[in-house]
Structure 1
């Protein structure tokens, strides 16, 4: 028996029957669920029988790119990192049969914590706690980059050779597929990135979107779990560092795209302090971040242009999308300035 008030994207009756058929003994009573987060990203539900709570992850509703919403890859990296210095939820079950709930899914522990995203969330904590949280954040990133992929069974998790070149090509192709206006700055930044492409460094596990609101922070200001591994791969770990820095800088830029504003909280590590802390925690060499920062600006500019393109086609619903295109050129200018 299951709760009939299931959220969209989750057939509780079929799920309960599947879990019983595979001998999954975590739940005893009727199942109920609530959507924790969702949208264009993977959907996350809290699943419970009234006593035990777990989290279920599945791809977004509708047509999705398998490479961007691969549940088996997410499940694999989480399972591999268990027991390392990187805090991750414990995984319990992977189902790759789309007939059960309409898409592949996996189950993992529910971890208590706060995904801080805005300066307003951190202000009541005070400067000392904000600093401590930002220190734990960057220490966790350094710990991830210190993991030997081969030692945890992830030696074939990606193709690190030529990773940066593929990143440039990927975002250039995406821009061409969503270009609706002249963007000479994009062409200039692309040319600079191609000309300054560095040699491959030592490969590591790349999270792909590492920032504070993709972490759960507990009541003691420790990182309880790193979440949202859908972009994880093997490649150049400095792309994680650069993207984190650019997210911080976006909070100071008038670019119309403040993904996170936590870096504006008093006490939060500055850009230079963040790099110094990463280095002290055993992270990779950050003495020359120019290319990686420019690539991060390019990536986010392309993402913004794609959103603006869909808005102009009438495929995006909501407020503020008419202004989002204004943020593209400032990001491109920042990327050019870094390489110039």
Structure 2
């Protein structure tokens, strides 16, 4: 692979594959660059100088176990593309891990969609209060559109196992916590146990994104959501888990310079109560148990952050901000317990 190529992608060999599989699509040599900001799977922007596409692959060094992720992501955007849910147009899925375009990994190609993923309150601030408010309310409306899709009608009737979804999620994240336990975390077992005792009855299942928040959508200059990205955690399940996560990310952490930020402090950002009410009104769903779902989101993020902290203490993670991740975990636990008490 040429040193000019980004690690994990060979644009020349990708051009050859696309010419064979999608003749006439590409009109010149391809260049590629890694798009920063992804949590796990790698994302590249490629271009022939006129058109742009995006390539998604598992992390470098991963083996066949993650092949399913690429297939699932490609499958869900392919199913949703003809609907009103904004997703990129899928172009190609390649499950051949011997393919030299993306060495050692399955991958897929989709059209490049213009737009900005707003990750922090500081990035939102230049929009001003009115545009910020509109963008966040559009996030709710787009979630309602996603949850309105009939999975069976778009070929996703077998995309997950919705029966017992919340119980399995709770057990899964409890196991994740056990796998990274190396310090005392006051309140986390209480939070986990209380969530288990108060398990709500789920509404009818829908396609669930699994990580729905402002920086996983693209917003154009007209404040329109042009695409929902990062479908690696999508499945069939309880739609209110998406709402709970969105509410969690709409609450201020109260920690300046936190390595994990929400957009809640941006001027004009709607309060969680307004987001919940808008979702309830537009979806017609009962949201009376939303405190449970929000507390579950706090718990899930606490477990994820503790895992990152654990890897940092083992010397397996390097980079800015990782030394402060551990300080966040008790804050997330406290928010989760408080949310349950208030609910």
What is the SS of the residue equivalent to 2:110?
strand
Give the direction of change, closer, same or farther, for the CA distance of 1:290–1:325 in structure 2 (3 Å limit). same
Q: What is the CA deviation profile of residues 245-265 of structure 1, one whole-angstrom value per residue up to 9, with x for unaligned ones?
A: 11222x333397564432212
Give the direction of change, closer, same or farther, for the CA distance of 1:255–1:196 in structure 2 (3 Å limit). farther
Deviates more, 1:20-29 or 1:129-138: 20-29
Separation (CA, whole Å) in 1 of partners of 2:278 and 2:306: 33
Using the TM superposition, give the Cα deviation of residue 9 of structure 1 relative to its aligned residue in structure 2, in angstroms: 0.7
Q: Where does residue 309 of structure 1 map in the other structure?
A: 310
Separation (CA, whole Å) in 1 of partners of 2:6 and 2:213: 28
> Does 2:328 align with 1:327?
yes
Q: What is the CA deviation profile of residues 13-53 of structure 1, one whole-angstrom value per residue up to 9, with x for unaligned ones?
A: 33233223334331132111111235542111111122221
**RMSD of aligned C-alpha atoms?**
2.1
Q: What is the CA deviation profile of residues 257-293 of structure 1, one whole-angstrom value per residue up to 9, with x for unaligned ones?
A: 5644322122111111111121222253212212211
Pick the aligned partner of 2:169 from 145, 167, 170. Answer: 167
> 1:46, 1:56 within 8 Å by CA — same for their partners in 2?
yes
Separation (CA, whole Å) in 1 of partners of 2:320 and 2:50: 40
Using the TM superposition, give the Cα deviation of residue 56 of structure 1 relative to its aligned residue in structure 2, in angstroms: 1.1
> 2:67, 2:95 within 8 Å by CA — same for their partners in 1?
no
TM-score normalised by length of structure 2: 0.92
> 1:185, 1:333 within 8 Å by CA — same for their partners in 2?
yes
Equivalent runs, 1:45-194 vs 2, <5 Å: 45-63=44-62, 66=65, 70-100=69-99, 101-102=102-103, 103-194=105-196
Q: Where does residue 5 of structure 1 map in the other structure?
A: 4
Gaps of 5+ in 2: none
Deviates more, 1:128-137 or 1:5-14: 5-14
Q: Where does residue 278 of structure 1 map in the other structure?
A: 279
Separation (CA, whole Å) in 1 of partners of 2:30 and 2:177: 44
> 1:68, 1:230 within 8 Å by CA — same for their partners in 2?
no
Separation (CA, whole Å) in 1 of partners of 2:334 and 2:262: 21
Pick the aligned partner of 2:221 from 219, 243, 251. Answer: 219
> 1:93, 1:107 within 8 Å by CA — same for their partners in 2?
yes
Give the direction of change, closer, same or farther, for the CA distance of 1:21–1:32 in structure 2 (3 Å limit). same
Q: Where does residue 28 of structure 1 map in the other structure?
A: 27
- How many residue pairs match? The answer is 338
Separation (CA, whole Å) in 2 of partners of 1:175 and 1:92: 38
> 2:67, 2:106 within 8 Å by CA — same for their partners in 1?
no
> 2:119, 2:262 within 8 Å by CA — same for their partners in 1?
yes
Give the direction of change, closer, same or farther, for the CA distance of 1:68–1:207 in structure 2 (3 Å limit). farther
